[in-house]
Chains A and B, each alone.
Chain A
Amino acid sequence: KAGVTQTPRYLIKTRGQQVTLSCSPISGHRSVSWYQQTPGQGLQFLFEYFSETQRNKGNFPGRFSGRQFSNSRSEMNVSTLELGDSALYLCASSLEPSGFSYNEQFFGPGTRLTVL
């Protein structure tokens, strides 16, 4: 069974631009969560989608948004990029939403975003 895939793997943008990242979950998984990983802040939860609906959201500004399609694939968008948005963006998929207690999450390889 194929794992979580993320595209692109690397991205370089300049301040003020916007970017869209894509995530394809493991086949049969309906929940997709997004995380930002930086050396200073570690792994921080952005948001979670299940059945095309945002189920949960972390403490990030409105410049960060996402969506999920009927095939469970998800995209996240960052508008008006800032230097501090440089990070590894990770997507994780699971069978059920995080609200289910013992729900294993499986991560993709991430998209490395560099903002110049």
Chain B
Amino acid sequence: GENVEQHPSTLSVQEGDSAVIKCTYSDSASNYFPWYKQELGKGPQLIIDIRSNVGEKKDQRIAVTLNKTAKHFSLHITETQPEDSAVYFCAAKGKGSSGSARQLTFGSGTQLTVLP
């Protein structure tokens, strides 16, 4: 099945700086890559996603890039603010662990802290 690795596990940046989180995936047939933000005590919230036929997508201060050849994708947050502090998860939609229907496999998460 799909395997997703996420780095770094923790990231601290100064307010106003940029943050980059990287993920790699193993299943070359994976075709959908969402990113989620999880705040303390809440469920993950979808913040941006990208399809395999697109190389880059941007939404205000957030952007995601995808390199299918290298099988990696990244989340870029510009002009970070304290409210961006949360755990961020990447995910890839590939075959399940038993070769079953496509499902999301998540990375291990990145704790982002934006220092004021």
A interface residues with partner B (beta carbon < 8 Å): 4, 33, 42-45, 48, 55-59, 90, 97-99, 101-110
Q: Are A56 and B100 in contact (CB under 8 A)?
A: yes
- Assess A42 versus B109: contact at CB under 8 Å? Given A55-B101, A104-B49: yes
- Assess A99 versus B96: contact at CB under 8 Å? Given A90-B44, A108-B43, A109-B42: no
Max chain A C-beta neighbours (<10 A), residue from B32, B46, B103: B103
B interface residues with partner A (beta carbon < 8 Å): 31-32, 34, 36, 41-46, 49, 51, 89, 93, 96-98, 100-109
Q: Are A43 and B89 in contact (CB under 8 A)?
A: yes
The 5 A-B residue pairs with the shortest CB-CB distance, nearest first, are A107-B43, A43-B106, A99-B101, A107-B44, A109-B43
Chain A residues lying within 8 Å of B106, measured Cβ to Cβ, are 42-44
Cα A56 to Cα B104 with chains together (Å) = 11
Cα A106 to Cα B34 with chains together (Å) = 11
A-B contact count (CB 8 A): 68
Q: Are B46 and A104 in contact (CB under 8 A)?
A: yes
Q: In the complex, which of the residues B36, B44, B46, B51 contacts A102, with contact meaning CB atoms closer than 8 Å? A: B51
Closest to B89 in A: A43
Cα A104 to Cα B103 with chains together (Å) = 11
Q: In the complex, which of the residues A33, A55, A56, A107 contacts B36, with contact meaning CB atoms closer than 8 Å? A: A107
Taking A102-B32, A104-B34, A109-B42 as given, write out 11 further A-B residue pairs in contact, using a Cβ cutoff of 8 Å, ordered by the A residue number.
A4-B43, A33-B103, A42-B107, A43-B89, A56-B96, A58-B96, A90-B43, A101-B102, A105-B46, A106-B46, A108-B43
- Assess A45 versus B105: contact at CB under 8 Å? Given A101-B31, A102-B51: yes
